[in-house]
Amino acid sequence: MDLLRESDALHARVQALARAWDRRIAAPESFDAIATDIVRHQMRYIPGVRRLIEASARASLAPDMIPAVPVDAFRLARIAAHPPELDVVRFRTSGTTSGAPGVHAMRTTETYRALCLAMGRRALFSAWDGPAVVVALAPAPGATPTSSLGFMMAAFMDEFDGRALGGEGVFDVNAPERWLFGDDGVHLAGLRRAARIASERNEPFVVLATGFALVALLDALDGATLGEEAPTRTVVMSTGGLKGRTRTIEPSELTRATARAFGVPEAHVVGEYGMTELASQLYEGTLPGGALRSARNVYVAPPWLEVTPVDPATLAPVALGDVGIARFVDLGNVDFPLAILTEDLVRRRGDGIELVGRRQGAPLRGCSLAIEEMALSPGPVAS
């Protein structure tokens, strides 16, 4: 079986797992079975992954034992199972201290889309039946998106709304009425208009936003609210950093202020955790009546994503309740390293993880081997 047929078969298995979970039926196979076959695939076609596993004394093909690739490694080299000419998108990171972005090259977006929709449905759209009015406090992704978040937001619009704002008609996911944040800040009039449309249609109003954009919205409102326009069935997805154009705000305060601005309970402001290097996302399960349940600041992973807090020196799992750095094993990463290591500090809480912060200080001791092996991978980061 060649690279493409093998990869297609693995993507199909991951998508089948997501469909089963979305439909609430038994999983067709186990996480470990799929993960082990993805590791074998990546050892054949990603030289850096193969070298990393072969160089690690404790490595095995079991998903909880394979070495994880640090996110910094993706700034140094292209890391993918397929050649660049097969890329359909190249999602890029932002905000790296070195100025060089990391790149997640995908040869298909079908699996990423399927995983986003299955998890987003549970976290954001399951509390109410029927269509919603969906907008984003973000720039439009365009025909060739470079932001994985923008791609996900567009997928939500396409799947859960499906109608042009302002009336029936051909759906245009890139319509400016849907993307309400740009170089000039928040498009406040457009947001108010979208809220009124949702109220007039008696449909839920779903606002997808970064923390940065929500701070900018609060500054633009300057104490005013959207309570008269926004329907009671409003939910706000909040993701990313919390620095605004003029100030920084604590997470709990941002939640309170956002809820007050939209005239909804704080439980309607739902946190999302994702990153360019992953194909999957985690969410807070706070929305009343939703299918995903957790406490505030506890993020729940789908069954195709495993998160383990590990010791930053040894990279071994920490004791239950202790803080460690987040190690992800993501079945959505068929053509991209399966296991990813971040510097985000987390602790296990029940069925989810609590976000504690970002590790500061010297580079992780346990990551030097992985970065060295990845740096030897052929091909620089694609431009």
Helix (H) or strand (E) holding 282: strand 282-284
**Ramachandran category for residue 247: left, alpha or beta (phi over 0 → left; psi -120 to 50 → alpha):** beta
Token pair of 226, please?
């959207």
Please state, in angstroms and rounded to a whole number, the distance separating the CA atoms of residues 113 and 235.
21
Phi-psi region at 142: left, alpha or beta (left = phi > 0; alpha = psi -120 to 50): left
Separation CA 249–CA 305 (nearest Å): 30
Supply the pLDDT for residue 374. 41
Query: Beta strand pairing status for 305-310 and 323-330?
Result: antiparallel
Residue 15 parent element (H or E): helix 3-22
Q: CA 91, CA 27: separation in Å to the nearest integer?
A: 29
CATH topology of domain 3-80+301-375: Luciferase; domain 3 (2.30.38)
List all residues 6 or more positions away from 127 whose beta carbon is below 8 Å from its beta carbon.
204, 233, 235, 287, 288, 289, 290
**Strand-pair partners of 348:** 353
User: Which pLDDT does position 28 carry in this prediction?
Assistant: 96
Determine the pLDDT at residue 254: 95
Q: Which fold has domain 127-290?
A: Rossmann fold (3.40.50)
Each residue's pLDDT, cut to its tens digit, for the chain (383 residues) gives: 699 999 999 999 999 999 999 999 999 999 999 999 999 999 999 998 898 888 876 667 788 888 899 998 888 888 999 999 999 999 998 654 455 788 999 999 999 999 999 999 999 999 998 899 999 999 988 878 899 999 999 999 999 996 756 555 556 888 889 999 988 899 999 999 999 999 999 999 999 999 999 999 999 999 999 988 999 999 999 998 655 555 678 889 999 999 999 999 999 999 999 999 999 999 999 999 999 999 999 999 999 999 999 999 889 999 999 999 999 999 999 999 999 999 899 999 998 999 998 876 544 433 334 434 444 555 444 43
pLDDT attached to residue 64: 84
Q: Which structure tokens are listed for 236?
A: 């706000």
Tokens of 199: 């109220």
What's the confidence (pLDDT) of residue 162?
63
Domain boundaries, the chain: 3-80+301-375, 127-290
Task: State the amino acid at position 184 in one-letter form.
Answer: D
* Cβ contact 178:135 at 8 Å: yes
Its pTM surpasses 0.75: yes
Tokens standing for residue 11: 């993507």
Q: Which of 276, 328, 273 is nearest to 89 (CA)?
A: 276
> Look-up: residue for tokens 């991209």?
336
Q: Note the pLDDT of residue 232.
A: 96
- Of 270, 238, 249, 135, give the one whose Cα is nearest residue 196: 135
Nearest of 110, 135, 132 to residue 121 by alpha carbon? 132
| pLDDT recorded at residue 247 | 66
